[in-house]
Amino acid sequence: MKKLVLGISLFMILFSCSNKENHTAIEEKTTQNIEYSNVLKDTVLLDFDIMKVKVIFESDSILKWNVIDDDLVDFQTEKSQTLHLNKHSVITTWVETETDGDHITQFADFENNVVASVIRKKDGTIFTVSGTISKNE
Protein backbone atom coordinates (compact mmCIF):
# COMPACT_ATOMS: atom_id res chain seq x y z
CA MET A 1 0.00 0.00 0.00
CA LYS A 2 2.89 2.37 0.80
CA LYS A 3 4.30 1.77 -2.71
CA LEU A 4 0.93 2.62 -4.27
CA VAL A 5 0.60 5.85 -2.30
CA LEU A 6 4.23 6.78 -2.97
CA GLY A 7 3.87 5.98 -6.68
CA ILE A 8 0.70 8.03 -7.05
CA SER A 9 2.15 10.91 -5.02
CA LEU A 10 5.36 10.94 -7.06
CA PHE A 11 3.43 10.89 -10.32
CA MET A 12 1.10 13.71 -9.22
CA ILE A 13 4.10 15.85 -8.23
CA LEU A 14 5.86 15.20 -11.54
CA PHE A 15 2.67 15.63 -13.55
CA SER A 16 1.87 18.95 -11.86
CA CYS A 17 5.33 20.24 -12.78
CA SER A 18 4.57 20.12 -16.50
CA ASN A 19 4.21 23.44 -18.28
CA LYS A 20 0.91 24.98 -19.37
CA GLU A 21 1.35 24.03 -23.04
CA ASN A 22 1.28 20.36 -22.13
CA HIS A 23 -2.17 20.67 -20.54
CA THR A 24 -3.81 21.55 -23.87
CA ALA A 25 -4.09 17.93 -25.01
CA ILE A 26 -5.63 16.91 -21.70
CA GLU A 27 -8.22 19.67 -21.92
CA GLU A 28 -9.18 18.48 -25.42
CA LYS A 29 -9.91 14.90 -24.33
CA THR A 30 -12.65 12.70 -25.71
CA THR A 31 -14.38 10.31 -23.36
CA GLN A 32 -14.56 6.69 -24.44
CA ASN A 33 -15.36 3.53 -22.54
CA ILE A 34 -12.12 1.64 -23.11
CA GLU A 35 -10.54 -0.32 -20.30
CA TYR A 36 -6.82 -1.06 -20.06
CA SER A 37 -7.56 -4.77 -20.41
CA ASN A 38 -9.18 -4.05 -23.81
CA VAL A 39 -5.95 -2.66 -25.27
CA LEU A 40 -3.59 -5.40 -24.10
CA LYS A 41 -1.69 -6.82 -27.08
CA ASP A 42 -3.28 -4.22 -29.41
CA THR A 43 -1.35 -1.36 -30.97
CA VAL A 44 -2.32 2.08 -29.67
CA LEU A 45 -1.17 5.43 -30.99
CA LEU A 46 0.12 8.04 -28.54
CA ASP A 47 -0.03 11.42 -30.24
CA PHE A 48 2.24 13.94 -28.52
CA ASP A 49 2.93 17.39 -29.99
CA ILE A 50 6.57 16.51 -30.57
CA MET A 51 6.14 12.91 -31.77
CA LYS A 52 3.77 10.03 -32.44
CA VAL A 53 4.47 6.69 -30.82
CA LYS A 54 2.98 3.26 -31.45
CA VAL A 55 2.78 1.19 -28.26
CA ILE A 56 1.78 -2.40 -27.60
CA PHE A 57 1.11 -3.22 -23.94
CA GLU A 58 2.01 -6.92 -24.09
CA SER A 59 1.41 -7.32 -20.35
CA ASP A 60 1.93 -5.43 -17.10
CA SER A 61 5.63 -6.21 -17.39
CA ILE A 62 6.42 -5.94 -21.12
CA LEU A 63 5.69 -3.24 -23.65
CA LYS A 64 6.75 -2.60 -27.21
CA TRP A 65 7.10 0.85 -28.73
CA ASN A 66 8.15 2.59 -31.91
CA VAL A 67 8.34 6.28 -32.78
CA ILE A 68 6.62 6.99 -36.09
CA ASP A 69 8.80 8.84 -38.63
CA ASP A 70 11.98 7.94 -36.80
CA ASP A 71 14.97 5.82 -37.73
CA LEU A 72 13.64 2.92 -35.61
CA VAL A 73 11.98 0.51 -38.01
CA ASP A 74 11.24 -2.31 -35.58
CA PHE A 75 9.35 -2.19 -32.31
CA GLN A 76 11.60 -1.99 -29.25
CA THR A 77 10.74 -4.40 -26.42
CA GLU A 78 11.13 -3.16 -22.85
CA LYS A 79 10.62 -4.61 -19.39
CA SER A 80 8.09 -2.44 -17.58
CA GLN A 81 6.12 -2.12 -14.36
CA THR A 82 2.46 -1.16 -14.43
CA LEU A 83 0.42 0.26 -11.57
CA HIS A 84 -3.36 -0.02 -12.02
CA LEU A 85 -5.17 3.07 -10.72
CA ASN A 86 -8.57 1.77 -11.86
CA LYS A 87 -9.89 -0.29 -14.79
CA HIS A 88 -9.29 2.60 -17.23
CA SER A 89 -6.05 4.19 -15.97
CA VAL A 90 -2.51 2.95 -15.40
CA ILE A 91 0.94 4.28 -14.64
CA THR A 92 3.68 2.40 -16.48
CA THR A 93 7.40 2.89 -16.09
CA TRP A 94 10.34 1.53 -18.08
CA VAL A 95 13.92 2.21 -19.16
CA GLU A 96 14.65 2.23 -22.88
CA THR A 97 17.30 -0.48 -22.75
CA GLU A 98 17.45 -1.08 -26.49
CA THR A 99 18.02 2.56 -27.48
CA ASP A 100 19.27 5.50 -25.43
CA GLY A 101 18.60 4.56 -21.80
CA ASP A 102 15.83 7.09 -21.15
CA HIS A 103 13.57 6.39 -18.15
CA ILE A 104 9.87 6.97 -18.81
CA THR A 105 7.00 7.12 -16.34
CA GLN A 106 3.70 7.35 -18.16
CA PHE A 107 0.09 7.90 -17.08
CA ALA A 108 -2.48 6.53 -19.53
CA ASP A 109 -6.21 7.09 -19.15
CA PHE A 110 -8.01 5.02 -21.79
CA GLU A 111 -11.46 6.25 -20.73
CA ASN A 112 -10.61 9.92 -21.32
CA ASN A 113 -8.19 9.29 -24.19
CA VAL A 114 -5.21 11.07 -22.58
CA VAL A 115 -1.58 10.23 -21.88
CA ALA A 116 1.15 12.12 -20.01
CA SER A 117 4.78 11.09 -19.64
CA VAL A 118 7.73 12.20 -17.58
CA ILE A 119 10.97 11.44 -19.40
CA ARG A 120 14.35 11.41 -17.71
CA LYS A 121 17.12 11.42 -20.29
CA LYS A 122 20.32 9.50 -19.73
CA ASP A 123 22.15 12.83 -19.25
CA GLY A 124 19.84 13.68 -16.31
CA THR A 125 17.54 16.21 -18.00
CA ILE A 126 13.83 15.76 -17.31
CA PHE A 127 10.86 16.91 -19.38
CA THR A 128 7.17 16.12 -19.74
CA VAL A 129 4.90 15.52 -22.69
CA SER A 130 1.16 14.96 -22.90
CA GLY A 131 -1.16 13.96 -25.66
CA THR A 132 -3.98 11.73 -26.77
CA ILE A 133 -4.47 7.98 -27.13
CA SER A 134 -6.20 6.27 -30.03
CA LYS A 135 -6.45 2.73 -31.30
CA ASN A 136 -4.15 2.20 -34.25
CA GLU A 137 -6.23 1.44 -37.33
User: Of residues 11 and 89, which shows the higher confidence score?
Assistant: 89
Architecture of domain 36-135: Beta Barrel (2.40)
Predicted local confidence at residue 99, as pLDDT: 79
Domain positions in the chain:
36-135
- What string of DSSP letters covers 63-108? EEEEETTSS--SPEEEEEEEEESSSSEEEEEEE-TTTT--EEEEEE
pTM of the full structure: 0.73
pLDDT digits (tens, 9 = 90+) for 59-95: 999 999 988 876 666 888 999 999 999 999 999 999 9
Predicted local confidence at residue 34, as pLDDT: 78
